[in-house]
Amino acid sequence: FKREGGEGGLPEGLRVRVSLDHEVREYVVGGANDTVWLRTIPAGWLHVVVVWQNVTVAEVRERVVSSRPIEVRCSIWDLKLVFKDMDGEGVEGLELMLVCANGTRRYLRTGEGGELVLRALPGGTYYIEELLWNGTPVKSEARLRWELEGDVAEEVVVKLKTIRVRVLDVLGQSVPGAEVLLVPVAARPPSLSPLAFRPTVVLQHSVYVFERVPAEPKDYVVVVRVQGREVVSETITITRDLGEVVLRCSALVLPGGYVVTRHEVPLLLAVVLLSAALAVVAVKYVRLRRLRSMIVEATPGTAPEARRSLAYFRRVLPRREGGQRLAVGETQRSRGLAKVAAGDGAARLVLRPPVKVERYGDVTESEEYEEVEELFE
């Protein structure tokens, strides 16, 4: 007895039934025991049937008239499959259910490099009924059915694809700490779907890797969330040629790694404006503290510079005060200034406390206006 294909000799446990003129004899062969001797048998028709795994792998009918050897070749083959993903990488740990020629089902798992080697199989029809990756059913690109009439060595492409997603802000900077989800289009809402895939690996520069995502269904939504808020989403179609997915989200990475989204912009603007206002107040306060005290004096009359000075004083003070006429020595306060009526119709503005006195009287029109404007703006 010999096997027609595959490596090695006969498997152990082949059942042989020999019929000769209504006499039936049964034997078990395999391994080193590959020969059956029939001694002192009468001439006649010899019928030999070999069964392996409940499948008839050989059947011989010959007329025996003299002593001679009869070779029986058994249809026993090897099946070798290599499972690869859409990126050409072997898929180790892929679970499958193989329906054999005798109708039995075998639950198998691929080994290193995605290899599955089944030796000494009886000839017949074999097909894979189910493929599972991490408990999720997946499909292949070709029909998984074989008529085993010889040794088979075949590569099977499973619809699994590794997806890389790079997340950038509005300036093209990497966004640290983002939450990235990959959800089938049919799943709604995507962020709460139990079918959502999460990255298996996060690389530098905000690259999120989803290893071996089922490509059926082929349409997915990539959802990016920053600080619990969705900032961008995009629909992708999984194909063999799908490269790195680059998403620009409505966020900004500040120095120190702090991320600001559009939801924080109003608050950020308010903080910036308040800070600017405080800075302006602080600068003016420092300048006024340096001046300590000032008296500006001008005498109304026909001189243009005097009229301009008084007009400027009225802009600084409230209007209702700017039009009042005060008696000599009378004081009225407004905005930290004191408007004092001086003799001969003069008007003076005094900044309190009066520690230092500077008088601006004998200056030209342009010099007087520039000095007053610089001090009070």
What average pLDDT does this structure show over 29-54? 89
Q: What percent of the chain is predicted at pLDDT more than 90?
A: 40
Taking only the tens place, the pLDDT of each residue in 350-369 is: 444 333 333 334 433 333 33
Residue 55 has pLDDT above 90, yes or no: yes
Structure tokens at 157: 């492409």
Mean pLDDT rounded to a whole number for the chain: 77
Residue 127 has pLDDT above 70, yes or no: yes
Residue 293 has pLDDT above 60, yes or no: no
Residue 156 has pLDDT above 60, yes or no: yes
- Between 68 and 257, the higher pLDDT residue: 68
Return the residue matching tokens 């510079």.
305
**Residue 241 class from Cβ within 10 Å (0-12 exposed, 13-18 middle, 19+ buried)?**
exposed
Considering only CA atoms, give the Rg of the chain: 48
Confidence of residue 192 (pLDDT cuts 50, 70, 90): low
Return the residue matching tokens 């090897």.
78
List, in sequence order, every residue forming a beta bridge with 160; answer none if it has no partner: 214
Domains by residue range for the chain, with CATH: 2-74 (2.60.40), 77-158 (2.60.40.10), 161-261 (2.60.40.1120), 290-376 (no CATH)
Residue 305 has pLDDT above 70, yes or no: no
Beta carbons within 8 Å of 41's beta carbon, 6+ residues apart: 20, 64
Consecutive H or E run containing 78: strand 76-84
Please give the pLDDT value at position 257: 65
Please give the pLDDT value at position 296: 45
Q: How many CB atoms lie within 10 A of CB 309?
A: 26
Alpha helices (runs of H) in the chain, residue ranges in sequence order: 265-291, 304-316, 319-322, 365-376
Q: How many CB atoms lie within 10 A of CB 350?
A: 18
Q: Which residue type does 240 have?
A: R
Please give the pLDDT value at position 103: 92
Taking only the tens place, the pLDDT of each residue in 89-124 is: 999 999 999 999 999 999 999 999 999 999 999 999
Taking only the tens place, the pLDDT of each residue in 207-263 is: 999 999 999 888 999 998 888 888 888 999 999 999 999 998 887 777 766 677 665
pTM over 0.75: no
